[in-house]
Every structure is written in C-alpha cells, then in structure tokens.
Amino acid sequence: MGVGGHAAWRTFTGYTHGIVMVAAVNAVLVGVALWLLGVPLAVPLDLLEFLAAFVPLIGSPIALAVAAVVAPASQVPLVAALVIALIVVIGQIEGHLLHPLVMSWAVRLHPLVVAISVIAGSIAAGIVGAVVAVPLVSAVWSVRTALRET
C-alpha cells in the first residue's frame, strides 16, 4: 500500500473510532435519561439508540421517536412529553456539537467541513450519502495532503 493508501486507512480508522465514541456517548446519555424517566424497555431502546447513532443527523431522532412511542406505556403522559423533549435536546447536542467536534478530531477536518459534508451527502444520496460523506471527504483530503507532501 502506498502513501495515499496509508493516509486513507489512517483516516478511516480515525473515523471509525470517532463514530463509535459519538454513538457510545449518545447511548449513555439516552440510557440514563430513559432509566431516570422509568421508560419501559429502556435497555433495548438504548441499544437501538447506539446503533442509530451511526446514521448522522437522523438516526438518533428516529430511535428516540421509537422511545416516545413506547413511553406512554408507563401510564404517565408527562414521561412521553419528556422523551419528546429529550429527542430535541439530544438531537441538537449530537447533530450540532458532539458529531462535528468528535469527527473533526477523529478525521482532522474542521467541524464545519464535517457538518457540510454530511448535509451535502444526504442531499446527494439520502441516508447512504449522509453515512459515507464524512469518511469519503476525509479520506480524499488525507490522500491529497499525503501526496502533496511527497
């Protein structure tokens, strides 16, 4: 593997570590909140949240929407309202703060570049585009940088 291949692999590895970190932090926040609210099936919902966090911007809100549907089973309407508020708060934290900052650290791109690439990827190719945009842009940038240095 050449210089470009090593640079792309290093960047993809950083992306993988970063997205797992974002998903883990997201799952911990959601798990604690669902447990404190007494939502039934909090552990499976938390696992769903962890897996959904791998889809940037929309994965977490969709998983929390499932939690909002399950929450009324606790017989307390306030819990469902709080889960919906949780959707908004955690979605904002993950989408606009946690994901761009961690990804910019993991793939060495500016947080704005990360956010714009996710948006552009989702416009160009939907959910698949949102998922592959950051690793693709970061790999291309790292290969370009590595090749310019040699």
Query: CA–CA separation, 84 vs 149, rounded Å?
Result: 49
Question: In angstroms, rounded to a whole number, what is the distance separating the alpha carbons of residues 111 and 12?
Answer: 17
| Among candidate residues 113, 85, 84, the one with its CA nearest the CA of residue 100 | 113
Banded model confidence at residue 74, pLDDT cuts 50, 70, 90: low
Q: Return the HEC string of 12-65.
A: HHHHHHHHHHHHHHHHHHHHHHHHHHCCCCHHHHHHHHHHHCCCCCCHHHHHHH
Structure tokens at 93: 């934290």
pLDDT > 70? residue 75: no
Residue 124 has pLDDT above 90, yes or no: yes
**pLDDT score at 61:** 80
Residues 18-73 pLDDT 10s:
889 989 988 998 899 888 888 888 899 999 989 988 887 778 888 888 888 887 77
pLDDT score for 56:
75
When the pLDDT of each residue in the chain is averaged and rounded to a whole number, the result is 85
pLDDT of residue 140: 92
- Residue indicated by tokens 């791109």: 109
Average pLDDT (130-140) is 89
Q: Please check the confidence at residue 113 and state whether its pLDDT lies above 90.
A: no
pLDDT > 90? residue 2 = no
Domain ranges within the chain, ordered by starting residue: 3-149
Tell me the per-residue pLDDT of 95-108, one tens digit each, with 9 for 90 and over.
778 877 887 888 88
> Would the pTM of this model clear 0.85, i.e. be above it?
no
Would you tell me how many other CB atoms lie within 10 Å of the CB of residue 103? 27
How many residues are given for the chain?
150
